[in-house]
């Protein structure tokens, strides 16, 4: 095989990053293990218990319950499945701000459940009045996002919990990306802060684990039991995961990263990333672009389509929000030097755009 993976030196919009060296090493050692068959692979299965205990500590959950998923998509699908199976309604619905990740569309489609999208406010957070107006007796689940994909915003989680409670629905918090930075902020987002029933929190994003390592946590083990099916020919008797064979590499790398970095390493990483985001937001603002305040290490700015395309043509791996803003996620591999070089390219493009082309003839 000739081809090499891409370098990270121009990757600015990904929510994945270079794994921590300890995570990389652990992934390699556990490559040929399957936590989906704990009877045959007990060591990686024990590691998965460690992963859930560590994730629970990060998310303020006293009694660890959950499993390492293939990513945020699987965790979100499973959370919707728990709520659907627990609901008494014959036509249950899920209420979510429109800032929620598109994995919930997949969940709704797969599970045959109605997804009610409600607007966000001017700060891109769930509009509580709109959520209140959308829930009813058929609502099985209210979703809040703690670190949105497009703007890095945190929904008012305790208030969403109260609304969910008022109609006997569950509350799911999608902290797939935000979960490893929020512990170092003042936001109320976790099991200790609010009546959260289930949570997505992904080591393979800000957690610096190898892909695939997502996380699903539940307030109590009986919520996970909603997912369990019998497994007659395995030594273990039931399975609550969506996939069967799973990545032992992901599980081991998640434990290695969290043991190495929680809490001091993640705290320092958050401070670095947040500083970088504020520096970038400032640099873009000074150049006259409208910038959404980086409340977490993610910057969105109104850069014209032509400039965006020219930056992509220069090799910058950038993406856009649904409304077309440039989006930069300050992941651990994103350094100040990278951002300075990005701004340098932007300045050169703008100079060229503003200087009339003079031909020699």
Neighbouring-strand partners of residue 218: 198
User: What is the longest distance spanned by two Cα atoms in the chain?
Assistant: 82
Q: How far is the CB of 178 from ligand 0PR (least distance, A)?
A: 7
Instruction: For 145, list phi and psi in degrees, rounded to 5.
Output: -110, 130
100 secondary structure, DSSP code: S
Residue placing its CB nearer to ligand 0PR in the complex, 164 or 318: 318
Q: How far is the CB of 37 from ligand 0PR (least distance, A)?
A: 23
Residue placing its CB nearer to ligand 0PR in the complex, 16 or 47: 16
Residue placing its CB nearer to ligand 0PR in the complex, 219 or 327: 327
The binding site for ligand 0PR (CB under 6 A) comprises: 14-16, 71-73, 76, 101, 103, 145, 149, 174, 176-177, 202, 214
- Note if the bond before 212 is cis, omega within 30 degrees: yes
Residue placing its CB nearer to ligand 0PR in the complex, 6 or 275: 6
Q: How far is the CB of 12 from ligand 0PR (least distance, A)?
A: 10
Residue placing its CB nearer to ligand 0PR in the complex, 38 or 72: 72
92 secondary structure, DSSP code: -
DSSP string, 161-199: HHHHHHTT-EEEEE-TTGGGTGGGSS---STTTS---EE
Residue placing its CB nearer to ligand 0PR in the complex, 16 or 141: 16
Q: How far is the CB of 303 from ligand 0PR (least distance, A)?
A: 18
Residue placing its CB nearer to ligand 0PR in the complex, 170 or 283: 170
User: Number of helices and strands (H, E) in the chain?
Assistant: 11, 13
Q: Give the span between the Cα atoms of 131 and 94, in whole angstroms.
A: 11
Other residues' Cβ atoms within 10 Å of the Cβ of residue 134: 18
Orientation of helix 72-86 relative to helix 103-111, angle to 10°: 40
Other residues' Cβ atoms within 10 Å of the Cβ of residue 63: 10
Q: How far is the CB of 250 from ligand 0PR (least distance, A)?
A: 11
Q: How far is the CB of 353 from ligand 0PR (least distance, A)?
A: 28
Q: How far is the CB of 350 from ligand 0PR (least distance, A)?
A: 27
Orientation of helix 305-313 relative to helix 336-354, angle to 10°: 120
């Amino acid at each position: 095989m000739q081809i090499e993976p891409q370098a990270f030196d121009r990757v600015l919009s990904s929510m994945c990053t270079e794994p921590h060296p300890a995570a990389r090493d652990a992934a390699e050692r556990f490559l040929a293990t399957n936590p989906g068959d704990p009877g045959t692979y007990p060591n990686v299965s024990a590691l998965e218990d460690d992963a859930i205990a560590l994730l629970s500590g990060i998310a303020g959950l006293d009694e660890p319950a959950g499993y390492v998923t293939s990513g945020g998509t699987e965790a979100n699908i499973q959370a919707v499945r728990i709520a659907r199976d627990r609901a008494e309604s014959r036509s249950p619905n899920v209420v979510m701000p429109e800032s929620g990740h598109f994995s919930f569309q997949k969940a709704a489609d797969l599970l045959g459940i109605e997804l009610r999208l409600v607007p966000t406010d001017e700060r891109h957070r769930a509009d509580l009045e709109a959520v209140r107006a959308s829930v009813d007796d058929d609502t099985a689940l209210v979703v809040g996002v703690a670190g949105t994909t497009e703007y890095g915003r945190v929904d008012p989680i305790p208030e969403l919990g109260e609304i969910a409670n008022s109609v006997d629905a569950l509350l799911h918090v999608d902290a797939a990306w935000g979960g490893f930075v929020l512990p170092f902020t003042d936001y109320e987002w976790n099991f200790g802060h609010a009546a959260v029933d289930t949570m997505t929190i992904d080591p393979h994003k800000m957690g610096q684990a190898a892909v695939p390592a997502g996380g699903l946590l539940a307030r109590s083990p009986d919520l996970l039991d909603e997912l369990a099916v019998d497994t007659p020919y395995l030594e273990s008797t039931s399975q609550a995961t969506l996939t069967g064979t799973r990545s032992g590499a992901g599980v081991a790398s998640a434990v290695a990263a969290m043991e190495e970095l929680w809490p001091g390493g993640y705290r320092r990483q958050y401070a670095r990333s947040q500083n970088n985001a504020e520096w970038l937001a400032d640099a873009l603002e000074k150049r006259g672009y409208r910038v959404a305040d980086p409340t977490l290490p993610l910057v969105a700015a109104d850069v014209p389509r032509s400039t965006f395309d020219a930056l992509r043509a220069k090799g910058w791996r950038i993406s856009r929000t649904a409304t077309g803003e440039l989006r930069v996620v300050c992941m651990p591999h994103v350094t100040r030097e990278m951002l300075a070089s990005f701004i340098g390219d932007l300045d050169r493009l703008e100079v060229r755009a503003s200087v009339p082309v003079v031909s020699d003839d």
